[in-house]
Amino acid sequence: MTDSTDKVPNRDAVARRRRMHRRHAKRRLTNVFVAAAVVFTLAVMVTPEASTRTAAPTTSGMGINATTAAVSNAASLPIHPLWRPAGEVLKRSKTAAAPALPFGLDPKERARRESLGRLHRIHTYSAKYRIKPELARRIYDAATTAGIEPELGFRLVRVESVFDTRAVSPAGALGLTQLMLGTAREFQPNVTREQLLDPDINLRIGFKYLRGLIRENKGDLKLALLVYNRGPVAVQRALSMGLSPANGYESIITKGYRGRGILD
């Protein structure tokens, strides 16, 4: 059996540790209160009028303490009240401009992505219709420039000429879009037969003609295609006689097509 006096030093050590922990806890709590008081004091001292004042110059022989430096730096910052009603917090300044989104694309990056998207679509059409990428590019660019949906442009060229740039029909229609010389001269008076065999000229005039027909027929794509194929006189004669001008041409081009034909 141990003597009870052996436990006294241990109890004293525990008591000393408890007193030390209490002192540390009080010191930390005091530091928190002091820091909060300093922040509150600085917020109260920095008034809206203080933002227009400049700090007084200090003499070379005297330093500036931390409180004065904080007040001087805070004077140049916008002043916000410590408390505002809940409804006012949600209000937006009507005069302040909307901040630029940090994730927005700059014009160069946007142009680069649009260019990559265009090239991707051109190569997709090239693979779909089994034509060279250069010809696919010509058809795609001519269609978008004329305001024609590229898919419709490719379908029209496939049916009209099977993508043969030098195609000539027994009736005298020329090129990729099979234009008659008289029809082409309504859009370009001095165009020649040889010029109509140029892919760019032929596509530009042909798609412009188709776009005009869609507008004239108030968006009726099938009727516009029939006028393109049969001519306005034949289609109008059939309609005036109460007959359908359809000959299957419009169905071949629009089979599986869900677009409106135009881009705008």
SS3 (DSSP) at 132 = coil
Average pLDDT over residues 140-161: 97
Mean pLDDT of the chain: 80
| Tokens 């209000």 sit on residue | 91
Q: Which residues are catalytic?
A: 160
Q: Cα–Cα distance between 88 and 41 in angstroms, integer? A: 24
For residue 127, give every residue at least 6 positions away whose Cβ sits within 8 Å of its Cβ, in sequence order, or none: none
Residue 53 pLDDT: 46
Mean pLDDT throughout 5-24? 71
> Could you tell me where the DSSP H helices lie in the chain?
8-45, 66-75, 86-89, 107-129, 133-146, 150-161, 181-184, 193-196, 199-216, 221-230, 232-240, 249-254
pTM of the model: 0.61
Mean pLDDT of 213-222: 95
SS3 39: helix
Under 8 Å between Cβ of 192 and 240: no
Task: Using a pLDDT cut of 90, give the percent of the chain over it.
Answer: 56
Distance CA 262, CA 264 (A): 6
Q: Is 184 exposed, middle or buried (0-12, 13-18, 19+ CB in 10 A)?
A: buried
Q: What is the mean pLDDT of residues 217-222?
A: 94
Contact 236, 256 (CB under 8 A): no
Report the pLDDT averaged over residues 70-88. 51
The C-alpha angle 101, 105, 109, rounded to 5 degrees, equals 165
Non-local (6+) Cβ contacts of 133 within 8 A are 122, 123, 126
